[in-house]
Amino acid sequence: MKRVGFILKVKPELIEEYKEHHKKVWPEMLDALRRTGWHNYSLFMRSDGMLFGYFETPTDLQTAVDGMSKQEVNAKWQKMMAPYFESLEGSRPDEMMRELDEVFHLD
């Protein structure tokens, strides 16, 4: 299982609204994530909107993102989430995830 960490930046004025959406993620979105290899998925956020995501997958970040890109529910979720993020440059949020290098892991 590969551990993946990534960052994105939520617009500071939309942080609370963003958090509210994640208190009630659509069941079909949760199912799609599980089916496409997103396991033990967590999001963490600093007070300035810097978002750190972590999940485990059998393959890698790109394969997991590609799997989700084929899910109809993902297109709807990404469209809804796009206004919350800084610097998307016309891309979907899941296309702008910047993977971090793992430098230490305590098993």
Q: Where are the alpha helices (DSSP H) in 1-107?
A: 15-23, 27-35, 61-69, 72-81
Rg (CA), the chain: 13
Is-contact 91 46, C-beta < 8 A? no
Active-site option among 21, 22, 39, 105: 22
In the DSSP assignment, the letter for residue 93 is G
105 is catalytic: no
Contacts of 39 (CB under 8 A, 6+ apart): 1, 55, 56, 57
Active-site residues, by number, are 22
